[in-house]
Amino acid sequence: MTELEQYIKSYFGVVNSDDLKKIVSLFKLTSIKKGAFLLKAGKHCNNLSFVQLGLLRMFISTDEKEITQWISTKGYFTTDLSSFVFETTSRISIQALTDTEVYSVTKTDYKKIGELVPKWYELEKLFIIRCFIILEERIFSHLSMTAEERYDYFFENNRELFNQVPLQYIASMLGMTPETFSRIRKRKLL
Amino acid sequence: MTELEQYIKSYFGVVNSDDLKKIVSLFKLTSIKKGAFLLKAGKHCNNLSFVQLGLLRMFISTDEKEITQWISTKGYFTTDLSSFVFETTSRISIQALTDTEVYSVTKTDYKKIGELVPKWYELEKLFIIRCFIILEERIFSHLSMTAEERYDYFFENNRELFNQVPLQYIASMLGMTPETFSRIRKRKLL
DNA sequence: GTGATTTCTTGATTTTTGTCAAGAGCAAAA
DNA sequence: TTTTGCTCTTGACAAAAATCAAGAAATCAC
């Protein structure tokens, strides 16, 4: 069983292996070189992608700086949900931090999943609710924690990331400057 | 047409008026006195409620303080989605800030909507995605804005709230102390 | 209306975080 | 290897926001 199948099985709860095969067959493997974009702000996001290998950074450019919203790792989905679903132009860019491989499904093909698997809408809904809850949690971290507490919490749950991506991106994602991040990090070593 | 019907029509896209009537009939009107709880942390959230009249505060209690997550106003839904969907105990409390009336549907009755209206799963999914996007936006505000910028942005879009609820709750919801909120507010008057 | 709460404001102070600038460390490219 | 970028760190300083404490203002209960 591929990781994508495994993921869909565990997160969406699809257990019938014929259904699984049908779903997975709609996804196409694509390679993205380090530094290349899976999605550029201003374009339409036409794909939902599963990261098979590598790392991707989702960010929003403002006048002054780039705000990293999320880092997508192996074994998770990535897309600009807003653009993918409502077919608006994307504010978000998604760029590969390393050579990356993704299984992508176009919006057109994605719709077919619902036709193939009757229970899909329900599963999909539950999946999105889980994503919603993660965001709620993240907002709570900004309302109730200091930069250092957010650092600690993220470090505990994402240790591996710290030696895989430029730390400035993690800093941005946690809502602090690279300098603050660096100082907090130093404190932990002492 | 009641506000609830209006809401379901515009946000969920249900246009057939028979369907609308069926859906709305599953909701029961309840009154909540000022200070009373629609949901208490530690309980199961068994209802999805539409605020017909009044104001409700959603908050999470930590050791030191209460963090206001959201203030639900007339014309919107409120629930602890996590608890409602996955039947976990709720971390969130929902308390009435004024005498309040809500149209509530139990989880059991809510499920019937999907059976009554075939398109419901799709509409519901889109609804949740809109909620997801609002949260994304809110996270972005914490990553890219100062307290004052968050104040300004929220004030522009929610002027009415400022003379309807204790300001400390708005402060908490925007991720700042009441003192900081008060000082920013003063600056705006000068 | 009066007293009791609660909410809001203000000042003084401390802590946290951001900004600017310089340099060190490292890795990729020439 | 040398050069060139990029990333990270560090220090000095400035700004933002939190804390503490007191008092004013508004609201609620009687």
Using 50, 70 and 90 to split pLDDT, how confident is the model at A119?
A: confident
Using 50, 70 and 90 to split pLDDT, how confident is the model at A79?
A: very high
Residues in chain B closer than 8 A to A67 (CB atoms): 140, 143-144
Strands (E), B33-168: 37-39, 47-53, 55-61, 66-73, 77-78, 92-96, 100-106
DSSP string over A134-182: HHHHHHHHHHH--HHHHHHHHHHHHGGGGGTS-HHHHHHHTTS-HHHHH
Residue B115: pLDDT over 80: yes
Residues in chain B closer than 8 A to A131 (CB atoms): 132
- Mean pLDDT for the stretch of residues A9-20: 79
Q: Where are the domains positioned within chain A?
A: 3-144, 145-190
Using 50, 70 and 90 to split pLDDT, how confident is the model at A149?
A: very high
Superfamily per CATH, domain A3-144? Jelly Rolls (2.60.120.10)
Disruptive mutation site among B136, B149, B150, B154 for chain A (greatest number of A CBs within 10 Å): B136
Distance A91 CA to C17 C1' (A): 27
Interchain pair A121, B126: CB under 8 A:
no
Closest CA-bearing residue to C1' of C8 = B182
Distance A179 CA to C23 C1' (A): 14
Residue-level pLDDT at B88: 96
Q: Which CATH code of 3.20.20.70, 2.60.120.10, 2.40.10.120, 3.80.10.10 fits the domain covering B3-143?
A: 2.60.120.10
Residue-level pLDDT at A14: 66
Using 50, 70 and 90 to split pLDDT, how confident is the model at B142?
A: very high
Residue-level pLDDT at A50: 94
Interchain pair A85, B138: CB under 8 A:
no
Residue A1: pLDDT over 70: no
Interchain pair A139, B135: CB under 8 A:
yes
Pull the structure tokens for residue B96. 């009435």
